[in-house]
A and B are shown apart, each in its own frame.
Chain A
Amino acid sequence: MGELWQIFKKGILEENPIFILALSLCPALAVTTTVINALTMGLTVTFVITSNNVVVSLIRNFVNPKVRVPVYITSIATIVTVAQLVLQAYFPILYKAMGIYLALVVVFAIILARAEVFASKHGVVKSFCDGFGMGCGFTAAMLVIGVIREITGGGTILGIPLFGEDFSPMLMMILPPGAFILIGYLVAGTKQWLKKIEEARIKREAEA
């Protein structure tokens, strides 16, 4: 149980797909203009990465290593199509807001990377935890970026105004440049924070 928790946990902080691995950045920048869009994208990716990890882990012994990448890609594309159709049917407004980025979930490096690095070598339960952890880390990062951008760039959160009539939002934050600059600082901040934790751990071990 402890081991599974470890696998789940590492995706959230130590190997956070966006801030640490710097993979799959297109969506982190493109659809985080509002919190609700960021959350939708995060949940979609969590669904795709978890299901794909389970599928890859189930078929890992039947697939010839030479053709594994095309097989993984086809599996991812199928799961993404399912997600696309579900969103289109039940949440048409969000589907519109995601635009082309929803179809592009297929080529997110993080999904293929987890299939290749983790799911193709581990059992179903472990792969599920790994995918779910990575998905949660991704969603958390998307939410952080979404909240900051919506508050600073729009003055609202989940569409509810926060600051009253006189507030004039910083338009740049919901435009592309704001996204780039914000992520630059967030990546640096995460790096610094992890370094602090690491230093504290080394210090503790030295004392003990």
Chain B
Amino acid sequence: MAEYFTLLVGAVLINNFVLTKFLGLCIFFGISKNLSASVGMGMAVTSVMTMSSILAWIVYFFVLAPFHLEFLTTIVFVVLTASFVQLLELVIKKQAPALYNMWGIYLLLIATNCIVLAVPILNVENEYSLLKSIVFAIGSGVGFALALILMASLREKLQYADVPKPLEGIGIAFILAGMLSLAFLGFSGMM
């Protein structure tokens, strides 16, 4: 039990995917202008990542590993996650139109994103069990959502600040992310 807890806390805070591993930065800087969009995106990424991790784990340990096709991991996983997201989009559009209106547009953005691809790859590289993979995926997703929401709140405040002209837009966003990352660095001594 303690093992899973360590893994979860590690993925959320200590090895936060956005702020210490620089994954998912495109979404991070693109979406964090708006707080409500950030909440939606965080939820969408967490759920997609968890489901695609399970799928990728099954494919890797039941197809790729027995046939010694490990060198195909990159190709298989990218096609798998991209097509899975497209499929999910179709299903949600048909079955739950209300949900689709809420976060359908985010799904398209996640289809080929480094964070969604990175988690399944890390899972098989570290040879996690299925349960561990799920915990790790959820932790990573929550960490991503946490960073995104914190950043969005900061950027909303930033609209009232007097930012030097050249730094406006992406420049100040980076510096802000640097400060956040500095704060998250404080968690690294926790374990």
A residues contacting B by CB (< 8 A) are 22-26, 29-30, 70, 73-74, 77-78, 80-81, 84-85, 100, 103-104, 106-109, 112, 172, 175-181, 183-185, 187-189, 191-192, 195
Known contacts being A22-B29, A184-B172, A188-B171, is A177 close to B118, with CB within 8 Å?
Answer: no
In the complex the two chains form, what is the Cα distance from A25 to B174 in whole Å?
11
Q: Are B178 and A184 in contact (CB under 8 A)?
A: yes
Q: Are A77 and B117 in contact (CB under 8 A)?
A: no
Main secondary structure of the interface of B (DSSP, over half): helix
B residues contacting A by CB (< 8 A) are 19-26, 29, 71-75, 78-79, 82-83, 112-114, 117-118, 121-122, 125, 164, 166-167, 170-175, 177-179, 181-182, 185
In the complex the two chains form, what is the Cα distance from A195 to B170 in whole Å?
16
Known contacts being A77-B75, A181-B174, is A103 close to B117, with CB within 8 Å?
Answer: yes
Q: Are B171 and A177 in contact (CB under 8 A)?
A: no
Q: Are A107 and B75 in contact (CB under 8 A)?
A: no
User: Which 4 interchain pairs have the tightest Cβ spacing?
Assistant: A184-B174, A180-B178, A181-B178, A188-B171
What are 12 pairs between A and B in contact, CB < 8 Å?
Answer: A26-B23, A30-B21, A70-B82, A74-B79, A100-B121, A106-B78, A106-B117, A107-B78, A109-B26, A175-B185, A180-B178, A181-B174
Set B74, B173, B179, B182: member contacting A77, Cβ < 8 A: B74
Set A26, A73, A74: member contacting B22, Cβ < 8 A: A26
Q: Are B75 and A81 in contact (CB under 8 A)?
A: yes
In the complex the two chains form, what is the Cα distance from A106 to B59 in whole Å?
19
Known contacts being A100-B122, A177-B182, is A107 close to B114, with CB within 8 Å?
Answer: yes
Minimum distance in angstroms from B144 CB to a CB of chain A: 13
In the complex the two chains form, what is the Cα distance from A29 to B22 in whole Å?
7
